[in-house]
Structure 1
Amino acid sequence: MKSHAAHSLDRWQRDHVYLADRHDKRARRVWIAVWLTAAMMVAEIAAGYAFGSMALLADGWHMATHAGALGLAGLAYRYAARHARNAHFSFGTGKLGDLAAFTNAIVLALIAAFIVYESVRRLLMPEPINYDDALIVAAVGLLINLGCAALLHEKAAGGAAADHGHDRASHDHDHGHSHRDHNLHGAYLHVIADAATSVLAIAGLLAGRLWGWAWMDATVGLIGAAVIGRWSLGLMKSSGAVLLDAVPDRGLEQRIRSRLESDADRVTDLHLWRLGPGHYAAMASLVSTAPQTPAQYKARLQDLPSLSHVTVEVEPCEICETL
């Protein structure tokens, strides 16, 4: 009898799986980037010890930080998929990628700070540079990073069309960012940051080799650190907003409110937050002089994009003649 009752509730229950589209495919691409970066790291460190090149050693350990960051992104994908249906997580594991992205943003900031420290130190105390070896290292590193960047690059998700054409433009910006897989974006920023520093390093090394401008190597390091720092802050802000349950799409919030409210109904409390890439949850409280069932209010929202979990509570407003 009990099992029959549980079976009869199946169509009202939900599984709370809020992972990104193409989750497994994205995870595989991140792991390929991890192994490419790790292989380059091992080769540079081994060559550095074998040939006594500090440039090779420094770049090898620098790539180790990026390999670790990419590995963190890969582990986040794996853990999120493995525990997607774990009841311990009230709203699934869709935010785990945002947690990994926030951590990677901090790692990027630390890398930027280290580059600033090294660049300033070398400006104050210049060291001899083996330009030929350093240029080879920078060029090979650039090729590896460009390959990883191509592997991890995705256009911002456009998402489903809005319910009304006239208000689509007003929410496209928020909608695209709230659909972004911050975990993949964080991994992408790591390889782009490394590629950018390689480009700047090549420019600085060429200037030093051709014209004797040894100070250019440290100067372009400072420029690279500023760019990486800016990317870090942007990723920290976007992933942190998800972790703090900030409203992901003001336009969608307004459409939910306008659809729920009528002559008899007023929204008194409304919460909208992101559960995972492309998945939102909404919780609304209404008062009404002619209350309907929660299912009828939910039906008004059923075609809105990406609303994966909706809760509605209704209270009769018996003391109000009009709302």
Structure 2
Amino acid sequence: MEEHVHEHAHCGEHDHHHEHNHHDDHEEHHAHGHHHHHHHDHSHVITSLNRAFIIGITLNIVYVLAEAIAGLGFHSLGLLSDAGHNLSDVVSLVLALIAFKLSGSLATRKYTYGYKKSTILISLLNALILGVAVILIIVESVRKIINPEPLQGEVVSIVAAIGVVINGVTAYLFMKDQKRDLNVKGAYMHMLADTLVSIGVVVSGILIYFTGWYVVDPIIGLVVAVVIIFASWELLRDSLRLALDGVPAHVDYDKVVSVMEKAEGVRGVHHLHIWAISTTENALTAHVLVEELDEMEHIKEHLKEELKEVGVSHATLEFETPQSKCNGKCHE
């Protein structure tokens, strides 16, 4: 953010001072109006997501406890390690819920965006946790291929089948929202990965029960690991991109430029920056070249409406004329 302050200073603070103050007042008013509308629109989404998190966390905690008790009762290391793995799911769900709650926090003097970006950090963390889980599955599978271990096919299958239902139901709760919110996608991917692992365990349990080939278990483990890698790659890529202030995947940079340049009265756009404030909100700053500053208010209103259509909810625009000192000479 310091970069933008530097830009304004560099471009002749005195020339723009009055205009900039006016612009700020207006933006604050505009943002307030937008916030109210936004809040009204999305309150039902927030309620349903909240419910999804609570149900998901509760179901998974109950399942972890049941697995741990069964594991101790049957002296099954497999069940105990699966309980440990499912505990990491509970952690990822709790983290996503915390980020979801924090993203609604208000701005403070220290955190002028509130804690919105926590959703991006948690998405990245969840992608990394998934990566570690996959590595553990691969290591364990390779070890079991070298030294196959006997398994109680029926018990393992029954417990894993319950896991398919619980993880599947939890994944389904997030299915709708995961497309538009990367933070929710993080929780969803964990649940989906676990559903796949559980399906793999059920299949291998049945095959072992009928054939006695213990090597089936680690082979299916490897197949599942590969599927998870492909499925979660997008989560890692997108969360890294947002963490590095890259242009969000669903925002088309060229389209944003063309929408702005086609607007009536706009002669050109430069120093365009687009980044994510959270996993659901995007911001933009740009210098807009206009013929006359008289039309500035009208052009600004029009541009902000157009930008909302292409996925940018917070736009800060600096206007300049061909005569102004800043034209093309500012440092990005």
User: Which TM-score bucket, shorter chain as reference?
Assistant: 0.7 to 0.9
Report how far residue 286 of structure 1 moved: 2.7
1:144 aligns to what? 166
**Residues 59-113 of structure 1: CA distance to partner in whole angstroms, max 9, x if unpaired?**
11111111111111111122222x2343433334333222211110000000000
Asked whether the equivalents of residues 160 and 198 of structure 2 are also in contact (C-alpha less than 8 Å), the reply is yes
Partner of 2:136, secondary structure, is: helix
1:283 aligns to what? 285
Partner of 2:303, secondary structure, is: coil
More moved, 191-200 vs 143-152: 143-152
1:246 aligns to what? 246
Counterpart Cα distance in 2 of 1:286 and 1:78: 36
Partner of 1:286, secondary structure, is: strand
Among residues 127, 139, 142, which one is paired with 1:120 in the alignment?
A: 142
Report how far residue 35 of structure 1 moved: 1.4
Q: How does 1:127-276 map to 2 (within 5 A)?
A: 127-154=149-176, 180-248=180-248, 249-250=251-252, 252-260=255-263, 262=265, 265-276=267-278
Give the unaligned 5+ runs of structure 1.
1-8, 158-179
2:127 aligns to what? 105
1:93 aligns to what? 115
Q: CA RMSD in A?
A: 2.7
Asked whether the equivalents of residues 291 and 315 of structure 1 are also in contact (C-alpha less than 8 Å), the reply is yes
Counterpart Cα distance in 2 of 1:199 and 1:261: 57
Counterpart Cα distance in 1 of 2:289 and 2:183: 39
Asked whether the equivalents of residues 123 and 218 of structure 1 are also in contact (C-alpha less than 8 Å), the reply is yes
Say yes or no: does 1:71 pair with 2:71: no
Letter in 2 for 1:272: I
Say yes or no: does 1:315 pair with 2:315: no
Report how far residue 289 of structure 1 moved: 4.2
Shift of the 189–62 alpha-carbon distance from structure 1 to 2, 3 Å rule, reads: same
Q: How does 1:28-43 map to 2 (within 5 A)?
A: 28-43=51-66
Q: How does 1:11-26 map to 2 (within 5 A)?
A: 12-13=28-29, 14=31, 21=42, 22-26=45-49
Report how far residue 313 of structure 1 moved: 1.2
Asked whether the equivalents of residues 197 and 224 of structure 2 are also in contact (C-alpha less than 8 Å), the reply is yes
Identity %: 28
Structure number with higher relative contact order (C-alpha < 8 Å, ≥ 6 residues apart): 1
2:5 aligns to what? none
Partner of 1:301, secondary structure, is: helix
Which structure features the higher share of helix residues?
2
Letter in 2 for 1:86: T
Report how far residue 298 of structure 1 moved: 1.3
1:53 aligns to what? 76
Partner of 1:310, secondary structure, is: strand
Give the unaligned 5+ runs of structure 2.
1-24
Return the TM-score normalized by structure 2: 0.78
Asked whether the equivalents of residues 259 and 301 of structure 1 are also in contact (C-alpha less than 8 Å), the reply is no
Counterpart Cα distance in 2 of 1:71 and 1:190: 12
Partner of 2:288, secondary structure, is: strand
1:3 aligns to what? none
Counterpart Cα distance in 2 of 1:87 and 1:154: 35
More moved, 283-292 vs 214-223: 283-292
Partner of 1:300, secondary structure, is: helix
Letter in 1 for 2:186: G
Return the TM-score normalized by structure 1: 0.80
Shift of the 208–319 alpha-carbon distance from structure 1 to 2, 3 Å rule, reads: closer
More moved, 305-314 vs 143-152: 305-314
Counterpart Cα distance in 2 of 1:35 and 1:131: 28
Asked whether the equivalents of residues 294 and 313 of structure 1 are also in contact (C-alpha less than 8 Å), the reply is no
Shift of the 286–292 alpha-carbon distance from structure 1 to 2, 3 Å rule, reads: farther
Counterpart Cα distance in 1 of 2:315 and 2:304: 9
**Residues 276-318 of structure 1: CA distance to partner in whole angstroms, max 9, x if unpaired?**
3553322111334433454232122243224322211122323
**Number of residues of Structure 1 aligned to a counterpart in Structure 2:** 289
More moved, 20-29 vs 127-136: 20-29
